[in-house]
Structure 1
Amino acid sequence: MSRTRIKICGLTRAQDVRAAVAHGADAIGFVFYASSPRAVSIAQAAELVALLPPFVASVGLFVNATADEVNCVLERVPLQLLQFHGDEVEADCARFGRPWIKAARMRAGVDLVEFASLHPGASGILVDAFVEGYGGGGKTFDWSLIPRGFGRPLVLSGGLDADNVVDAVRRIRPWAVDVSSGVESDKGIKDTAKIAAFIAGVRDADG
């Protein structure tokens, strides 16, 4: 069975970055969206990314940011992957010369195959729950909306935690899972024990 990649998102503190890395996270996500309680400044992000060892990817999450805003971040923060969660089209995402993934906000009626076809350059498609505004808000969605044999690297997100991630990985077999609120004690404050339990659950599901 292939190994499911694990991204921990919305980190704001050095100790949380260290904990995620120590327990085996493959990628760490930093939120550059001012409306989020997990948002970090460019200076904060630069300090946190500097803590990452080789082969742990730095990911920047953006929501309807302008090209200038993204470039300002990239000038100071060596992000390896960009993650777009707004209304961006292919050209908006592809202009920065970095690998990128696009988030689909899942609800009844969403055709994920059609959505993916609109973003052929994406390294992967992230699926999250539809909520008002942007972001999943820690909500799960109906996993049956994900078509079998989707054919693109799938990043499963939306309300994942240590209690449901084993079932999620075994049922969906995503390329990666992405968690934020499911490993928190408060918004933007990660819980080391929850991180450890989540990652252990993914590895258990991998078999």
Structure 2
Amino acid sequence: MRIKICGITNLEDALDAINAGADALGFVFYEKSPRYIEVKKAKEIVDKLPPFIQTVGLFVNESSKHINDICHLTNMQLAQIIDDEDNTEFDNLNIKYIEVIRANCKEDLEDLDENYYLVDAFVEGFGGAGKRVALEWFKDVDCSKLILAGGLTASNLKELKGYNFYGIDVSSGVEASKGKKDKEKMKEFVKAANEI
């Protein structure tokens, strides 16, 4: 199972996440988020990362041009896109991307195409609220191309056994405070994920 640790704001947390066993690091380019990171700072961190770690930029209701520009300037390898307002012209993106489904009910997970999706719980704000998606909504859903986010911690990952999610995404569940990761929580999270 792939593990992404999102909301990276400093190099120390990035390296601690990698050492804990994360496959991908998420950088939030949504200015209203407490985990927001400026372009220059994100690039400084990315430039110091070891190979084989995927960098993911998170965007909320942004134009394709904005996403292309930020990803180019920061060397992001993947864009994670919330597009509730239909601002993003996906055909105009120059970067690989994954769409976020902010699930409010089981119906939101029906009739998905063959793409990979990140599924998060719907909240009024965007991400990092620690709210969980109801696992019963995934009954009879092929989860092999779904990445689950929202309210995950080392102590509740065992509940995901048997669903066969492609990956999991954590932010608030491994934090000491908003925007600052906890090294031990990250280690415990990865260890629990590897036991699923």
TM-score using structure 1 length: 0.87
1:96 Cα offset (Å): 1.8
**Distance in 2 between residues matched to 1:186 and 1:136, nearest whole Å:** 11
Partner of 1:51: 48
Partner of 1:156: 148
2:129 pairs with 1:129: no
Partner of 1:41: 38
Percent identity at matched positions? Answer: 39
Tell me the amino acid that sits aligned with residue 187 of structure 1.
K
What is the CA RMSD across the aligned residues, in angstroms? Answer: 1.9
**Distance in 2 between residues matched to 1:93 and 1:83, nearest whole Å:** 12
**Distance in 1 between residues matched to 2:47 and 2:127, nearest whole Å:** 26
Structure 1 pair 172/152, CA: closer, same or farther in 2 (3 Å)?
A: closer
1:94 Cα offset (Å): 3.9
2:181 pairs with 1:181: no
Tell me the amino acid that sits aligned with residue 103 of structure 1.
V
- Contact map agreement 1:18 1:51 (CA 8 A) in 2: no
Count of residues paired in the alignment = 196
**Distance in 1 between residues matched to 2:86 and 2:143, nearest whole Å:** 20
- Contact map agreement 1:126 1:156 (CA 8 A) in 2: yes
1:145 Cα offset (Å): 1.1
- For structure 1, list consecutive stretches of 5 or more residues without a partner in the other structure: none
2:90 pairs with 1:93: yes
1:152 Cα offset (Å): 5.5
1:177 Cα offset (Å): 0.4
2:68 corresponds, among 71, 78, 95, to 71
Query: 3-state DSSP class of the match of 2:89?
Result: helix
- For structure 2, list consecutive stretches of 5 or more residues without a partner in the other structure: none
TM-score using structure 2 length: 0.92
Structure 1 pair 136/11, CA: closer, same or farther in 2 (3 Å)?
A: closer
Tell me the amino acid that sits aligned with residue 134 of structure 2.
D
